[in-house]
Structure 1
Amino acid sequence: MAEKSAGSSWVQVCTSLRFRHLQFLDILGRVRNLRLTAEQMHVTQPAATKILADIEAIFGARLFERLPRDMRPSDLGLFVLRYARATMVEGSRFASEFETLKRGGHGHLTVGAISGSAARLMTEAIQEIHRLRPLLVVKVLEQSSDQLIVWLEEKKLDIMLGRFTQTRHQSLYDYEMLAGETVWIVAGAGHPLLAGGAGGALDALVDWPWILYPPATALRQLFEETFASAGLVVPAGTVETPSFFSAFELLQATPMLSMQPQAIVEKYVDKGLLGRIPVPIRDTMPDYGVITRKGEVPSRSMSEFIGILHQVAGQP
């Protein structure tokens, strides 16, 4: 199929593209099978073949390679499928929020946040937004920044509290700084290093197993930089998890060590459930903040929630 010329505008595509086309693409992108797509669309297979031909004619490009058992999207096809999926997700959220608003509610707000200080800010901000908008439905997803920013791109999140993990993100998203974050090295309350006084001796920690955050996270990068700057080999025998609660259980049950945000572990240290190992590290991670999609007009609840976050974080 010959590709359209550069003169074929997005307006022309939108004029011809229908919701049913996007629904078709979304299903075909997930099942990769024309027969199954026809069944889910409640049409015959010849009708499904014609719908796909119409879509490819609209875009002026072949989007799928027809194989004996499945349909393989081309690079252009994958690009179009991402748009179709995002549009369907956005449409579903629009319909749900419209119904909520029609019934007198305040809509929905989906927020993703890293653990630590950001989670503490989230708690206080949610309390305040519910005081202002008691019928607002707030959905909270907690993960590392690398996963949250994927969900933000897929429009599964309205707002993200975290950090950029790639330079290219700066051109795709708006960032408003909230705060920095202090970290501690901790162990279970009965760890031998707590009794032995390991303060000031980073090399004393090399031979112990560690619980680490995933490689793309700021905490993992700080961990690796800490040992590299001291000329030490990063310890082996590690467990990776983005979940503090998994790390907490392991710290209680094993002689493992972990670098964690102070905001999470301080209360456990104060209660004697964990112990802090006072070794010299650059104990502050890069700032984290509110991340939103560029060029997107925020809803009233989004604007209010972001304003509350700045208030809670002590920002003007």
Structure 2
Amino acid sequence: MPQDSTLSAAQVLPKLRFRHLQLLELLGRTRNLRIAAEQMHVTQPAATKILSDLEALFGAPLFERLPREMRPTDLGLLSVRYATTTLSNLGKFSNEFATLKNGGYGHLTVGFIPASAAQLVTAAIKELQRRRPRLIIRLVEQSSDQLATWLEERRLDVMIGRPTEPRHQALFHVVDLLAEPARVVAGRHHPLLKRRRMEIADLGEWPWILYPQGTAMRLLFEETFAATGLLPPVGIVETPSIFTTLELLQATDMISLQPQAAMDKYVKHGLLGYLDVPIRRTMSNYSVLTRKEDTISQAAEEFVAIVLGIAAQCLPEARSLSLAPPPSAVR
């Protein structure tokens, strides 16, 4: 198929249709033309014709026709990414338009990492709900790497977490919030709570509950164990869920490295206890992230302002965190 080096937006956009974007998004997910056609409620020959028209419009093949799949080319991956983002934005626009038309106050989707950040988000949502009682708020709890992907894909309006790749600094506005001190925690019945002043090397024989690979807390755990010169323990359960971790700590002799801010209330109420083990390494601050190329909604802007204000109160010496968000954080 001949390449058209002079292809311009003025040539493509008037001919680009919703069904083109829909097929691209479906093929990107399913890699199967028959399944994509079924989900579009068209015949497979009709889907083939849509794809052929699209490739003719772009002047380049977008998918390799393999025996068992439709594999996107580099240009196909770019096209799928654009289609996914555009359809997501269109769906968001449609929902917000309908909500505002019916007297509502729109939507806000916030992604956040578990533990310490959850407390900050909870406090910010409480204040935002007081100011905007009819705002529909969707909360998504996940690890930073997944949240960053969703923020890039515009599935989130705001993220509370950490950048996980160097390119995120170019994609997102990143404003540091708070540090996240970590402690080793166990159920109140655990025999190690009777011991005074242990080292991390003394805990190698005990089973652990850990955050998944790639998370900041897991990296802290691995660095802490590596500093002892010992291999990490063998008995491991991986979960990002605070609630699952709490149940396991109370029901077993497992121990876990957790953010202190998230565990303090459970220790205070006698459900858990801190082991007297020094953690000499620290994690980077978690942050509030928004997309650089977007102008965010008033609700998202207000949420960011509230988050920064609460963080400033939690850390008074951090004068750089003002009560109002800096323009670079929300533009």
In the superposition, the TM-score normalised over structure 1's length comes to: 0.93
Deviation at 1:130, TM superposition (A): 1.0
Please list, as runs of the form range in 1=range in 2, the aligned pairs for 1:6-45 lying within 5 A after superposition. Answer: 7-45=6-44
Please list, as runs of the form range in 1=range in 2, the aligned pairs for 1:76-225 lying within 5 A after superposition. Answer: 76-197=75-196, 199-225=197-223
Q: 1:59 and 1:138 mapped to 2: Cα distance?
A: 39
SS of the residue 1:223 aligns to: helix
Contact (CA 8 Å) 2:176, 2:288: kept in 1 or not?
yes
SS of the residue 1:285 aligns to: coil
Structure 1 residue runs of 5 or longer lacking an equivalent are none
Q: Match of 1:293?
A: 291
SS of the residue 2:156 aligns to: coil
Contact (CA 8 Å) 2:224, 2:281: kept in 1 or not?
no
Q: Percent identity?
A: 57
Deviation at 1:58, TM superposition (A): 1.9
Confirm whether residue 3 of structure 1 aligns to residue 37 of structure 2.
no
Q: 1:187 and 1:36 mapped to 2: Cα distance?
A: 49
Q: 2:259 and 2:109 mapped to 1: Cα distance?
A: 24
Deviation at 1:61, TM superposition (A): 0.9
Q: 1:11 and 1:258 mapped to 2: Cα distance?
A: 57
Contact (CA 8 Å) 2:209, 2:254: kept in 1 or not?
yes
Q: 1:139-191 deviations in whole A, cap 9, x for unaligned? A: 00111111111211222111100001122221221101111111111011111
Q: 1:7-41 deviations in whole A, cap 9, x for unaligned? A: 32344332331222112222333343434444443
Q: 2:40 and 2:140 mapped to 1: Cα distance?
A: 31
Q: 1:222 and 1:31 mapped to 2: Cα distance?
A: 37
Confirm whether residue 251 of structure 1 aligns to residue 249 of structure 2.
yes
SS of the residue 1:286 aligns to: coil
Structure 2 residue runs of 5 or longer lacking an equivalent are 313-320, 323-331
Deviation at 1:216, TM superposition (A): 0.9
Q: 1:242 and 1:222 mapped to 2: Cα distance?
A: 15
In the superposition, the TM-score normalised over structure 2's length comes to: 0.89
Deviation at 1:49, TM superposition (A): 2.5
Residues 15 and 274 (structure 1), Cα distance of their counterparts in 2 relative to 1, 3 Å cut:
same
Q: 1:72 and 1:294 mapped to 2: Cα distance?
A: 31
What is the RMSD of the two structures over their aligned residues, measured on CA atoms?
Answer: 1.8
Deviation at 1:231, TM superposition (A): 2.7
SS of the residue 1:232 aligns to: coil
Contact (CA 8 Å) 1:182, 1:283: kept in 2 or not?
no
